[in-house]
Structure 1
Amino acid sequence: MADEALTAGAAARRLGVAVTTLRTWHQRYGLGPSQHLPGHHRRYTAQDLDRLQIMRRLTAQGVPPAQAAAWAQRMPLPAPESAPASGPDAAAVPGLDSAAVPGLESASFPSSESAGGQPEPVGGRLRGTPIDVVWPEIAGPVTVTTRDGGGHSIRTGRAGPAARGLARAAMRLDGPALRDILEMAVTNRGVVDAWHEVIMPVLIGIGDRYEATRRFIEVEHLVSRSITEVLGTIARPHSSHNPRVMLAAADEEQHTLPLEALAAALAEAGVPSRLLGARVPTQALADAVARTGPEVVVLWSQLPETGDPAQWTRLLSAGHGPLLAAAAGPGWPAERLPAGVVFISSLAEAVQLIAATVPPAEVRGTTRGKRAAL
């Protein structure tokens, strides 16, 4: 790309941002095109694009634009032939160490409360939105800021800069930035902490915006797809280890992101699992249990209409009961579950309980945070 100079439109497509964003960065922060040919508009050189890439990555990670622009302006850039491949870490930005940007991984940036509005606790579900995908304990610590009517932001309450950066990228429909932030969060924090500290505040924020506007379903779809893709990159235990954990959604239950997070967190802990996915009829689940003999069965229900305890009664009466039968999700009436069925209230609790029932396998050539090839 050394000899290539691009128009604003072409540069925007290359970076995955809007042309108006490039113009704003040019007018406010001086990150504009530097090549000028007589009779033509200025064009973006390879070095211009490198600096804009730094700007994009830092703002996606929650760094305020003015601070990100200052770093982009003075960041030493490598020669084109030595430019590193893009990756999830801040270190993938040329010359940038995450520790070099003050506050990048702290909560020192202005919180969403400073933008106006008061924090309002959110209940354990996303209140009828298309992404009711939370563990029950989320009702406690996570808050979001709400306002009536429209709006084009996702409030993440007291969540840190990674969650705020994820929310900004989500509203921009910036798939590459979403993946970068999610990969960095999972690598640096592990699946469980990334889920609770980064992913859940954004999912709840999207649900809040949907409730206020009945819009932004496209945002939810892109975020959900990005989460699924990143969770799928967690290295699984070697195929020689037979999975003794079965994960499934209850009959007619369509929400599976929490199960995908559980499967990834278990893999990170060295515990292989089978994930059957959404809407598993009770008879099909019973057949699968009889065929494979798992020691743990986790059945997820997000909504009350899918959390019928009779599913557990039928499954356990089939004669192939697992050592651990666990009902997960706010859809289950915990007080009406059959004897022998454990109610799990959090992702962390699920991982701990399952790992205690099924000891982790020896994972060949994998460590926490290491990723499988796509």
Structure 2
Amino acid sequence: MEGPGLSVGAVAHRLGVSASTLRTWDRRYGIGPSRRSEGAHRRYGAEDVARLEVMNRLILEGAPPGEAARVALGIPAPAAPRKPRGHGAGGKRVPLPAGSDRARGLARAAMALNGPAVLTAVREVLADEGVVPAWQGVLAPVLRGIGERYAATGEAVEVEHFLSALILACLAERAEPVDPANARPVLLACAPEEQHSLPLYALAAALAETGVAARNLGMRVPEKALADAVERIGPGAVFVWSQMHFTGDTGVLDRLPTGRPPLRVIAGGPGWRLPFPERVRYVATLEEAVAAVHECLGLVLPA
């Protein structure tokens, strides 16, 4: 996201809510725009929109707005009464089969809903290891481990939302390259009705780290809106994410405008239903996605 940011109307349209709803969230919960334009009008930056995406997703999943705002802002929950040792399956442990010390530390901070500790751990691993190694070796394994704990015990869904929100905010901080190598940006979007947008923020940050600029449309991008964006900016490549099976209609990819030169389309995520259209390239990992984007743009991936 460039320049002074987005207006309340633009963000409302993007999230599928009313402008009055966004103003209410700002007034009641303090989750609003942080930038100002030259005319002193308040504008939403990339981090603001990322937080609102998290809040909106949680509300759609049934969370009360106040709780959703707390998670999106990274505010720790009030301390709950301690359970007796041995209560429930696995206590507070998160399954991390090949977890590093950093992964275990991040998991402990997340399970404690310790926002400052989570932010410090995420920012440090991103800075020290780079986005792709941090995502594949620490962030994604911890998220998977917490998800597996929820699947096994029915516990810790609030931890998953809490951690996702803070990781998203940290990735959004790193999503703009200083001196972009690509004249035409890469367009990133979730498939229609797909709400899991965190992988897009990981890809945007990984691309920025290699000097590639991307425009992230976020979750639940309608087919027409994605096609309109392609025609409006003429991207060098389009990456579309589908995590849930019901969002993985590959016809959406096939119906994208072809353009001149031909549009390069990349798909990622486990939700897509085979087969893929001939012009679509599927990638299975963040590392593959970064390499595929560079290849589509005709750029050499930095060593």
Q: Deviations over 1:175-217 (max 9, x none)?
A: 1111111111111110000001111111111111111222212
Match of 2:149 in 1: 209
> 1:239, 1:351 → 2: CA distance?
17
Q: Aligned to 1:337, which of 263, 270, 276? A: 276
Q: Deviations over 1:121-174 (max 9, x none)?
A: xxxxxxxx99xxxxxxxxxxxxxxxxx846222121121100000000011111
Q: Aligned to 2:227, which of 276, 286, 292? A: 286
- Residues 322 and 294 of structure 1, relative CA distance in 2, 3 Å threshold: farther
Shift of 1:312: 1.4
Q: Which amino acid aligns with 1:245?
A: V
Check if 1:326 corresponds to 2:266. yes
- Residues 206 and 301 of structure 1, relative CA distance in 2, 3 Å threshold: same
Q: Is the 8 A contact 2:240 2:268 kept in 1?
A: yes
Check if 1:187 corresponds to 2:151. no
- Residues 228 and 322 of structure 1, relative CA distance in 2, 3 Å threshold: farther
Q: Which amino acid aligns with 1:350?
A: A
Q: Is the 8 A contact 1:163 1:201 kept in 2?
A: yes
Shift of 1:343: 0.7
Match of 1:236 in 2: 176
Match of 1:269 in 2: 210
Count of equivalent residues: 216
Check if 1:173 corresponds to 2:141. no
Check if 1:163 corresponds to 2:70. no
Match of 1:134 in 2: none
Match of 1:256 in 2: 197
Q: Is the 8 A contact 2:175 2:201 kept in 1?
A: no
> 1:308, 1:316 → 2: CA distance?
16
TM-score (norm 1): 0.54
> 1:216, 1:357 → 2: CA distance?
40
> 1:154, 1:221 → 2: CA distance?
15
Match of 2:295 in 1: 356
Q: Is the 8 A contact 1:271 1:358 kept in 2?
A: no
Q: Aligned to 1:301, which of 239, 242, 245? A: 242
Q: Deviations over 1:4-27 (max 9, x none)?
A: xxxxxxxxxxxxxxxxxxxxxxxx
> 2:293, 2:167 → 1: CA distance?
23
TM-score (norm 2): 0.66
> 2:265, 2:133 → 1: CA distance?
25
Q: Which amino acid aligns with 1:256?
A: S
Q: Which amino acid aligns with 1:271?
A: V
Q: Is the 8 A contact 1:246 1:275 kept in 2?
A: yes
Match of 1:137 in 2: none
Q: Which amino acid aligns with 2:122?
A: L
- Residues 169 and 322 of structure 1, relative CA distance in 2, 3 Å threshold: farther
Match of 1:199 in 2: 139
CA RMSD of aligned residues (A): 2.6
- Residues 288 and 239 of structure 1, relative CA distance in 2, 3 Å threshold: farther
Q: Percent identity?
A: 46
Match of 2:19 in 1: none
Q: Which amino acid aligns with 1:171?
A: M
Helix, strand or coil for the counterpart of 2:255? helix
Shift of 1:315: 1.3
> 2:211, 2:146 → 1: CA distance?
32
Shift of 1:313: 2.1
Q: Aligned to 2:286, which of 347, 352, 372? A: 347
Q: Which amino acid aligns with 1:223?
A: L
Unpaired stretches in structure 1, ≥5 consecutive residues: 1-128, 131-147, 362-366, 369-374
Q: Which amino acid aligns with 1:251?
A: P
> 1:205, 1:213 → 2: CA distance?
12
> 1:352, 1:168 → 2: CA distance?
33
Helix, strand or coil for the counterpart of 2:240? strand
- Residues 220 and 243 of structure 1, relative CA distance in 2, 3 Å threshold: farther
Q: Which amino acid aligns with 2:186?
A: V
